[in-house]
Amino acid sequence: MSQGTRQAMSEAPEETAWRVPGRVEVLGKHTDYAGGSVLVGAIDRAITARARRVTGPPASLTATTDGGDPVTLRAGVDPGLEPGHWGRYLQTVLDRLTLNFGVGTAAHLSISSDLPPASGMSSSSALVCATALALASLNGWDADPRWIESMPDRLSLAGYLAAVEGGRAWRDLPGTSGVGTRGGSEDHTGMLCGAQDRLLLADFDPMCITRTISFPSQWALVVGVTGVLAHKTGAALEDYNRGPNTVQAVLARWNEATGRTDASLAGAVKHLIGDATGEQAAGDPALKDLLRLCDPGYERQRIEQFLVESLVLVPDGARLIAAADPGMGEVLERSQELADRGLRNQVPQTRLMVSLAREAGAIGASSFGAGWGGSVYALVPADDAEDFAPQWLQTYRDRAPEAERAATIVTRPGPGACRLP
């Protein structure tokens, strides 16, 4: 343990709490881990982690949730929990922070949430972030010089927490196994850097927020939770990781064929067409050098989806939302079609909820998140939102009676993570 860590721990509080919101991905379906662009914001539902020092072995953690059985964890010790159990996310955080910043105090963690689990609003990433931030504050790690040097601002903190979840190294901080998904940093960026009534236009090679977009006061977001849980275990994990694995395979072929060392697919695209965006950029003949490396079928369609979503739909969506232009509906329709055809991550319930929102008069609607379940959001006039939400839900339930967990949430983009008094 470094002198800086010992001093930070001696000054750390006896109790601390962090509130971390979920996020809504407005556009940018599976683009972040390819280095592309997203339009994302925090929402007003969150996970709260309250941590306090307790008597017990160092680097140990007991944790409780609103309704689940308690878990007891030790750094470096397999907890023996089933795949997907919420305790495994806490174990990942405990192992990584212990590796990077040293043995911490024994702690009790109390988790509460009004964010629906496995609903596409990234409750799992919110749990990782809330746990990491609470333990870092409790142990004084967030005052350690190594923490400050590696995470000097909210955006770099989002990058580190994404690396904790994904098992990747972050700068000079080595990685552990992660939770099993091979995702990017979009969720953590929205959660950590979100602002009231603002959406973030972010890129991920390099990681940066290029603009913040005012969300129109005359619009509201109505999130429809399909009731189909978007789990990331077993076959569902394989389905989710198929996208990142495909992107990495094509990138590896590109680097081998060209002798380059691009870190992302977006980096390869920038080499070919520069910083251009729009329809002309996505159709630039220079991109054939990349596309010809793709196998026909899923692989090529997956890369084509990335090009259109990142180069065309995200920038178009940012412009149309800033202008409160109802043409946003056409952008969302195209994004949804590309997800169905290119990502192949839609289920009948997400398709149904999108179509019902359009039929009910929404400006536009789109599924979001990992896919294979989760949620759909609808853009609707703010004055209509409270009436739209229950009508949309009832119509959906009439058509999908098996969806017992379905619900709707009327929301707006909200502030990012905060430490509570």
Task: Quickly count: other Cβ atoms within 10 Å of residue 35's Cβ.
Answer: 25
What strands lie across the sheet with 407-411, from one edge to the other?
A: 364-368, 375-381, 219-225, 407-411
Residue 235, pLDDT score: 59
Asked whether residue 75 carries a pLDDT value surpassing 70, the answer given is yes
pTM recorded for the entire structure: 0.94
Residue 88: predicted pLDDT: 95
Please check the confidence at residue 174 and state whether its pLDDT lies above 90: yes
Residue 251 CB neighbours (<10 A): 23
Distances (CA, A) of 397 to 252, 362, 380, 388, 390: 45, 18, 20, 14, 10
Query: Is the model's pLDDT at 379 over the cut of 70?
Result: yes
Contact 190, 155 (CB under 8 A): no
Q: What one-letter code names the amino acid at 275?
A: D
Helical spans, DSSP H, in 274-377: 279-282, 288-291, 298-308, 314-322, 328-338, 348-359
With bands split at pLDDT 50, 70 and 90, how would you rate the model's confidence at 2? low
Give CA 193 to chain center in angstroms.
12
Q: Is the pLDDT of residue 317 over 60?
A: yes
User: Residue 165: enclosing H or E segment and its boundaries?
Assistant: helix 154-166
Instruction: Examine the pLDDT at 83 and tell me if it is beyond 90.
Output: no
Query: Residue 174 corresponds to which tokens in the numbers above?
Result: 């080595």
Question: Does residue 86 surpass a pLDDT of 80?
Answer: yes
CATH number corresponding to 3-214: 3.30.230.10
Domain edges within the chain: 3-214, 219-411
Query: In this predicted model, what pLDDT tens digit does every residue of 223-257 receive, in sequence order?
Result: 999 999 876 555 567 777 888 999 999 999 999 99
Element containing residue 113 per DSSP (H, E): strand 107-113
Quote the tokens at residue 3. Answer: 């002198």
The listed CATH number (3.30.230.70, 3.40.50.300, 3.30.70.890, 3.90.1150.10) that belongs to domain 219-411: 3.30.70.890
